Structure 1
Amino acid sequence: MQIIEVTGYAVRSAVITMRRRGTPLEFVIFPMLHVASPTFYSQVRLRLRDCDLIVVEGIRGGSAGVSALTLAYRFAPRRRRNGLQEQRDDLVLPEGVPVINPDVTAAEAAADLRALPWWMYALLMVAAPVMGLVFALRGPRAFLDEDQEIEDLPSTLRAEMMADNPVEHAMTDRRDQRLLDALGAICSARHEEEIRVAVVYGAGHVPAIVSGLWNRHGYRPREAEWLTVLVPE
């Protein structure tokens, strides 16, 4: 299952609805990019109005290391000609829909990053602002040069691919576990309710979300809707 589609024309995100037979509770997963066109965020916000609960990503608190990493997507929106915006809650989250945030604290995220080998941590701190400058200078074209995709890989294959990737482990393992624990608690407490639970997380977390809901709770992807994230100038 393709989650993010990148072509020479546009970047698109697949909004995935997951259901379980005999259970009215359903999950709607919104794979997010932290820099996108304003239209993408408005389309997400419009669909979130139809949900009953929103589970949202967002590291709580502040940390120098985490702030340095976010430079990669905070630079791009500063050039108005790019037509891009940084993701913010006020752009995405509608009023009146309950929101929960099971994400980690900045201190926890920073501790996971500092556990990396020193040279790897240093490389991350240097690479992030460089990537941000590239995005700012090149605009949407920086996303469209290569035909790439994020797929919902089977959990065993995903585990094999991550086995030798300590950076991905450091940036996602604890956060994915917190999220899946929160979704499991929702399943246990509200599985008999006819509600739509939105999961608004970065696209890189979505394979773990899909495989976790599938393997732990028997939910399957049943519908998908493509939303355009951005297009070139």
Structure 2
Amino acid sequence: MQIIEVTGYAVRSAVITMRRAGTPLEFVIFPMLHVASPTFYSQVRLRLRECDLIVMEGIRGKSVGISTLTLAYRFAPRRRRNGLQEQRDELLLSDTAQVINPDVTAAEAIADLKTLSRWTYLLLMVAAPVMGLVFALRGPRAFLDDDLVVEDLPSTLEAEMMADNPVIHALTDRRDKRLLDALGEIHAEHGDEPIRVAIVYGAGHVPAIASGLMDRYGYRPREAEWLTVLVQA
């Protein structure tokens, strides 16, 4: 099952509801792209209002390195004709939303990246602003690329390539583990309650979230709803 679908004219994200037999608690996964149309964020906000608890991605604190990496998606919305927005909490969350953030700190994220070779780390820092400029100049066309497709059950070759990619490990391993530990605590404390728990994380984290909920806690995908992230004008 695809998590992000890319066609020649649009990008869509699958909101996935996971349930466990005999347990009323539901986990609802919102695969996010950090740059999207305003309509996408409005649709996510409406659905988050129906959730009792929101588990939200967001590296805590600031650092020069993290600010440099996020230039890749902070440039694109600055060109108004692109019709895109950068993801921000105020676009998604109501004033009464109950939110927890199990993500890492900026210092932890940079420490993980610095486990990479020096040249790989420097290349990431140089590439991020360049990618941001490409996004800003090309607009939505930069996103309408097959490389953006994300699946929860990647092919064996893709899985092996990802498993051997030190950059992927540095960017996601600690964050995914901390998130799944937090979801386990929610399951242990609230598993007998009929509540909906939203997981609002970048699409790249969703394969680990889905497999973790299945393997660790027995939750399975039961429903999916497609939301349009952006459309090529």
Q: What TM-score comes out, normalization by structure 2 length?
A: 0.97
Q: When the two structures are aligned, how many residues end up with a matched partner?
A: 233
Residues 11-22 of structure 1 correspond to what in structure 2 (within 5 A)? Answer: 11-22=11-22
How far does residue 103 in structure 1 lie from its aligned partner after superposition?
0.1
Residues 1-233 of structure 1 correspond to what in structure 2 (within 5 A)? Answer: 1-146=1-146, 148-153=148-153, 160-233=160-233
For 2:62 and 2:214, the matched residues in 1 are separated by 33
- Unaligned stretches of 5+ residues in structure 1: none
How well do the aligned residues superpose, as a CA RMSD in angstroms?
1.5
Cα separation, partners in 2 of 1:58 and 1:131, compared to 1, 3 Å: same
Cα separation, partners in 2 of 1:10 and 1:159, compared to 1, 3 Å: closer
For 2:154 and 2:25, the matched residues in 1 are separated by 24
For 2:143 and 2:55, the matched residues in 1 are separated by 27
For 1:155 and 1:81, the matched residues in 2 are separated by 37
Cα separation, partners in 2 of 1:123 and 1:145, compared to 1, 3 Å: same
Is the contact made by 1:71 and 1:132 (CA closer than 8 Å) also made in structure 2?
Answer: yes
Letter in 2 for 1:49: R
Cα separation, partners in 2 of 1:143 and 1:155, compared to 1, 3 Å: closer
Per-residue deviation, residues 102-141 of structure 1 (Å, max 9, x unmatched): 0000000000111100010011011100000000000001
- Unaligned stretches of 5+ residues in structure 2: none
Percent identity for Structure 1 against Structure 2: 81
SS of match in other structure, 1:139: helix
SS of match in other structure, 1:140: helix
Letter in 2 for 1:112: D
For 2:144 and 2:201, the matched residues in 1 are separated by 22
Q: What TM-score comes out, normalization by structure 1 length?
A: 0.97
Cα separation, partners in 2 of 1:183 and 1:157, compared to 1, 3 Å: farther
